[in-house]
Amino acid sequence: MNHDTLGSGLVDTRAGLVDRAIFSDQQIYEKEMETVFRKSWLFVGHESQIPNNGDYFLSQAGREPVVVTRDQSGEVNVLLNLCTHRGMPVCRYDKGNAKRFTCPYHGWTFSNNGELSGVPLNTEGYGGKLERSRWGLIRARVARYYGSIWATFDEAAPSFEAFLGDMGWWLREFMMGPDGEDDGLEVIDGILKCEIPSNWKFGAENAAGDLYHDVSHKSVQRVGLALTGLRGRHTWDADKNKFRMLNITFPAGGHAVRGNLYEHAMREYFSQWGANPEVDEYFRDAHYARQKRVGERERLLNRGGVVFPNFVYNAANRTSVTTWIPRAPGRTEVWKWVFVPKNAPQVVKDVMRNYLLRYTGPAGMVEQDDFENWGSAQVGAESVLARRLPMNYQLRLGGEAKWAWPEPWIGAGALVDEGVSEHAQRIFYDRWSEMMTGQPRPFRREAAAE
Amino acid sequence: MTTETQEAIALPFHPELKVRVEDFLAYEAELLDERQFDRWLDLLDDDIHYWMPLVRNFEFNRPQDEYSRAHLDAAWFDEGKQTLLQRIRQIQGGDHWAEEPLSRSTHMTTNIRVAAVTETQITVKCRFLLYVNRREEEVRLFVGKRTDILRPVGDGFRILKRSIFLDQSKMLFKNLTTFF
């Protein structure tokens, strides 16, 4: 395969077909690192992880190791965690507080804003001529968005807001407290990290809008997880108001959201935390407070989605973020941040934390079954015989999706399908293919024509 | 040489109790490995706190950063009997794909030491090795330290608190579907 054309011809979203090689081929993986990941904005963490000057934590911008710091002037920095002299990670602690990082190899020392502040033998060895400004840690462009921290190493990338497009409202809404307060979340301390034997895209496309995979979660539905007093895993199961289930995609950026659009404005609250009246009371008040703050979009329930390529979130009381860190075609590191509303009473934080830790990650009663299934899907991606058949993404294929629908305020850049559909996955792979090949894809052209 | 002035470190030693505790922990491991989950659940006190913190790489002078805090921070497990019961019911339905078909496990405990004894609580420290083999090729090897608080009940014990300190910062495997 020619490297320049890698990625073309592998994705046919008009026909709903995706070549299995994109999940298993080493050359395609390497090209993804250069194109998809290097040119995108990537989530690296949340400001509540570094409340004080000098605080830092290690993170990943895709496959690249970074250290996220709050420097002595309070600014947030995302620095490539590799010494500019010999490439050692200069910070080797998962979190802490430091004004500077000293490389353990030769002692080059960098301040927490990345500047090279000290070099052994600076006078005797370098004659005092080392260009310090050139040899600081490599700095990413940083965007701070309602508490979340994003980074890109691509100087040519658009602004973060332009990258998000109409997805911006959903990300902003996700970062709100349940009462609609902007920047209303805080991280429960500790990032859950594990490794799954599958390609990074399985997790990403699932979050884009796979409403078809209920059988995966049959067991947790049976035993129940949400504190609604009902079985099931979602708190909104207890909401009796009528809604339309939407797959809302933003083809220009490849982002997508799963959302409920409730039929009536200002709907009443149904008890969703019935097992704990105090917590239920908090969410009742928050429900009505949010309606006043959010405006006409209060009819939407943000269930979760993907910011292309590898940031996925679960919302609707399951406030958590996952990034898929591609380590190899068939090996992905999973990082999880769990959030609670920062201004909620402690009892609410406790109950949500408990719910989320049982829901998410390798010990989560929901996501264990996802990880198992994606590991199994990888078997099919690597099978020579199975590769004669592409993966099938034909569910509700055929132009049912509509722009800026069912309400115009959903956004001119939104292409929406209703119900159980693989529309969002098709958009995800359309954008992936566009970034891999540099060629505009069908859905973007439709957008331009409208 | 200062050996004559050095005091011996006196550790509490409870030989009879230790034998009974060892027997109890071996029996408990048998129940898990034989998938007798309901009988295993009977060994847990109704108020059990079952906790496995996250593990971090920490600065030498910040040892408090090594483990996430119980009841406050993220954790692999931080729960009570009701959730453990739900996990067992999930496994027992034949539709929990992460444990269907069931994995094979062998629990080994060693370095068992009765660290403290009161009338109502026995603190036991040990090291564990848990081998899990799943489907054909999947192997998970968990090694770490455990501190259990046992409550004497009649001639036996109930587990009142289990703290599991796994020697991994990043979980090297995809799932934690076995009990520790």
Contact check, Cβ <8 Å, B65/A188: no
Confidence of residue B49 (pLDDT cuts 50, 70, 90): very high
pLDDT mean across residues, chain A: 94
Note the residue count of chain A.
450
- Could you please report the per-residue DSSP string of B26-93? HHHHHHHHTT-HHHHHHTEEEEEEEEEE-B----TT-GGGSBPPTTTS-EEEEE-HHHHHHHHHHHTT
pLDDT digits (tens, 9 = 90+) for A311-343: 999 999 999 999 999 999 999 999 999 999 999
* pLDDT recorded at residue A450: 46
Annotate A414-430 with b (16+ C-beta within 10 A) or e (fewer): bbbbbebbbbbbbbbbb
Contact check, Cβ <8 Å, A193/B96: no
**Is residue A358 less than 8 Å (CB to CB) from chain B?**
yes
**Is residue A383 less than 8 Å (CB to CB) from chain B?**
no
**Is residue B77 less than 8 Å (CB to CB) from chain A?**
yes
Q: What percent of chain A has pLDDT above 70?
A: 97
* pLDDT recorded at residue B158: 98
Confidence of residue A227 (pLDDT cuts 50, 70, 90): confident
Contact check, Cβ <8 Å, A216/B97: yes
Domain A42-142: top CATH class: mainly beta
* Chain A residue numbers touching B69 (CB-CB < 8 A): 189
* Chain A residue numbers touching B66 (CB-CB < 8 A): none
* Chain A residue numbers touching B139 (CB-CB < 8 A): none
Contact check, Cβ <8 Å, A219/B177: no
**Is residue B97 less than 8 Å (CB to CB) from chain A?**
yes
**Is residue B78 less than 8 Å (CB to CB) from chain A?**
yes
* pLDDT recorded at residue A415: 95
Q: Given CA atoms B135, A209, A359, A42 in this order, what sign does their dihedral have?
A: positive
Residues 182-221 of A with CB under 8 A from B: 188-197, 216, 218-220
Note the residue count of chain B.
180
Residue of A nearest to B59 (CA): A93
Contact check, Cβ <8 Å, A93/B59: yes
Domain with CATH 2.102.10.10 in chain A: 42-142
Task: Provide mean pLDDT across the span A82-108.
Answer: 97
* pLDDT of A4 over the 90 cut: no
DSSP state of B8: P
Give the best residue of A357, A360, A367, A370 to mutate against chain B (max B CB count within 10 A): A357
Residue of A nearest to B89 (CA): A223
* Chain B residue numbers touching A91 (CB-CB < 8 A): none
Interacting residues of B128 by C-beta distance below 8 A, sequence separation 6+: B107, B108, B109, B110, B142, B143, B144, B145, B146, B164, B180
* pLDDT recorded at residue A5: 66
Among A63-72, A207-216, A286-295, name the one with the lowest average pLDDT: A207-216
Which is more confident, A212 or B50?
Answer: B50
Give the best residue of B139, B171, B179 to mutate against chain A (max A CB count within 10 A): B171
* pLDDT recorded at residue B9: 80
pLDDT mean across residues, chain B: 95
Q: Which domains does chain B have, with CATH numbers?
A: 14-166 (3.10.450.50)
Residues 329-348 of A with CB under 8 A from B: 333, 338
pLDDT digits (tens, 9 = 90+) for A241-268: 999 999 999 999 999 999 999 999 999 9
Judged on CB neighbours under 10 Å (0-12, 13-18, 19+), A19 is buried
* pLDDT of A139 over the 50 cut: yes
Contact check, Cβ <8 Å, B97/A373: yes
Nearest residue to A67 via CA among A35, A96, A105: A96
Per the CB < 8 A criterion, the answer to whether A66 and A42 are in contact is no
Q: Where are the beta strands (DSSP E) in A329-414?
A: 331-341, 391-392, 402-403
**Is residue A369 less than 8 Å (CB to CB) from chain B?**
yes
ipTM of the complex: 0.94
Contact check, Cβ <8 Å, B95/A218: yes
- Could you please report the per-residue DSSP string of A1-25? --GGGTTTTSEETTTTEE-GGGGT-
* Both tokens assigned to A342: 């920062």
Task: Provide mean pLDDT across the span A167-182.
Answer: 97
Domain with CATH 3.90.380.10 in chain A: 165-449
Task: Provide mean pLDDT across the span B127-133.
Answer: 98
Interacting residues of A449 by C-beta distance below 8 A, sequence separation 6+: none
* pLDDT recorded at residue A445: 60
Instruction: With H, G, I as helix, E, B as strand and everything else as coil, classify residue A354.
Output: helix
Closest CA of chain B from A367, distance in Å = 9
Task: Provide mean pLDDT across the span A195-224.
Answer: 93
Among A24-38, A106-120, A161-175, A224-238, name the one with the lowest average pLDDT: A224-238
Q: Which CATH architecture has domain A165-449?
A: Alpha-Beta Complex (3.90)
**Is residue B75 less than 8 Å (CB to CB) from chain A?**
yes
Confidence of residue A446 (pLDDT cuts 50, 70, 90): low
* pLDDT of A63 over the 80 cut: yes
* Chain B residue numbers touching A375 (CB-CB < 8 A): 174
Of A189, A197, A222, the CB nearest to B74: A189
Reported as type and span, the H/E element at residue B159 is strand B156-166
Contact check, Cβ <8 Å, B93/A94: no
* pLDDT recorded at residue B6: 77
pLDDT digits (tens, 9 = 90+) for A357-409: 999 999 999 999 999 999 999 999 998 888 889 999 999 998 789 999 999 99
Task: Provide mean pLDDT across the span A154-158.
Answer: 96
Contact check, Cβ <8 Å, B96/A219: yes
* pLDDT of A58 over the 60 cut: yes
* Both tokens assigned to A298: 């209060």
* Chain B residue numbers touching A219 (CB-CB < 8 A): 90, 93, 95-97
* pLDDT recorded at residue A44: 98
